Amino acid sequence: METKTIKNTTEEFLSWLQVERRFAQSSIVSYRSRLKCIVRDIGDIEIINITTEHIFKLKSILYERENSEVFTGVVMAAIKGLLLYSRDQLKIPLQIDPTTITIPKRKKKEVVYLTVEEINRFRDSIDISKNCGLRFRTLIEVLLGTACRISECLSLNRDSISLIEKEARIIGKGGKQRVLYFNDESLYWIDKYLKTRTDKFPSLFITTGETPKRLTNQDLSRYFKRQRLLAGISKKVTPHICRHTAATTMAMNNCSAIFIKEILGHSRLQTSIDYYISLADKQKVKQAHQTFLVY
């Protein structure tokens, strides 16, 4: 029987996460990278021999390198998950209780979003005379018009969107089914983009060329960076910032936190309140100060 080490258990663990836990592909890629780092730093230890001392050594190395709390957190989540999988699924008797492994809490980040003026500048900077530009403009409108995650956006198929109901049923974060709602602007651009397509490929967003495939997030990074510069926007613009922009806009317009939670697909109402409602309240407090504190 093969000896179970960190290295030779990684792929079956990641497959289990993808199939049973419905982890997103981006999370699988991240975990794989972090588990390789663990092997590099503390060695390809046999699972049964991993102790508290190994975990302490790993944390010490990460902090000595001054890695961010986010990076360190993912590393610790990866080794904790691997150990839990080994104990519960592979029935390996461990020397350490995986539940005692602590993961650093992420500091709450300031929500970055685009103003209406920045949104319009970004939109107007996209050259839609070319197919790739029209596709990118459509993608932006879907992100802004649905507040979806980029993984959800790229998972859309043409026939999954109901133009009459203005919605699509998707598998969201954590493998949960949810409804994505479209505004009229996003549906207009989807229709405009699809009218230029002559292929039969089911994906809404595809690569160009003779053999199209579903567009991936990795394909998009350069588009966002280039377009931000063309639009003259100093803020970093990413798919997730489009999601923040949509959510913040709803909050500023007095949308209920309960509705924002459902539209964004958050599992906890408090997440929507902490990130978007509190941000909107701060902006309104500032506006009130400027409006009413007049002598």
CATH number at residue 251: 1.10.443.10
Query: Would you place residue 144 in the very low, low, confident or very high pLDDT band (cuts 50, 70, 90)?
Result: very high
Clarify whether residues 133 and 70 are in a common domain: no
Clarify whether residues 15 and 159 are in a common domain: no
Give me the pLDDT at residue 163, please.
86
In a domain, 264, yes or no: yes
Q: Measure the CA–CA gap between 200 and 143, rounded to whole angstroms.
A: 24
In a domain, 184, yes or no: yes
Give me the pLDDT at residue 281, please.
66
Domain boundary among 65, 100, 135: 100
Query: Would you place residue 253 in the very low, low, confident or very high pLDDT band (cuts 50, 70, 90)?
Result: confident
Q: What is the CATH number of the domain that holds 46?
A: 1.10.150.130
For the stretch 59-108, pLDDT in tens is 999 989 888 888 899 999 999 999 999 999 999 999 999 999 988 876 66
For the stretch 97-132, pLDDT in tens is 999 998 887 666 677 889 999 999 999 999 999 999
Clarify whether residues 199 and 287 are in a common domain: yes
For the stretch 163-216, pLDDT in tens is 889 999 887 776 778 888 999 999 999 999 999 998 889 999 999 877 889 988
In a domain, 286, yes or no: yes
Domain boundary among 69, 100, 131: 100
Give me the pLDDT at residue 276, please.
66
In a domain, 44, yes or no: yes
pTM check: above 0.75: no
In a domain, 128, yes or no: yes
Residue 106, Cβ neighbours under 10 Å: how many? 11
For the stretch 258-295, pLDDT in tens is 888 888 887 666 665 666 666 666 666 667 657 765 67
Give me the pLDDT at residue 231, please.
94
pLDDT at 9 over 90: yes
- Give how many domains the chain has, as a whole number: 2
Mean pLDDT of 15-19: 91
Give me the pLDDT at residue 288, please.
64
Clarify whether residues 120 and 231 are in a common domain: yes
Q: Which amino acid appears at position 62 of this protein?
A: L
What is the span of the domain harbouring residue 85? 6-100
Token pair in block for residue 216? 């991936």
Mean pLDDT of 34-42: 94
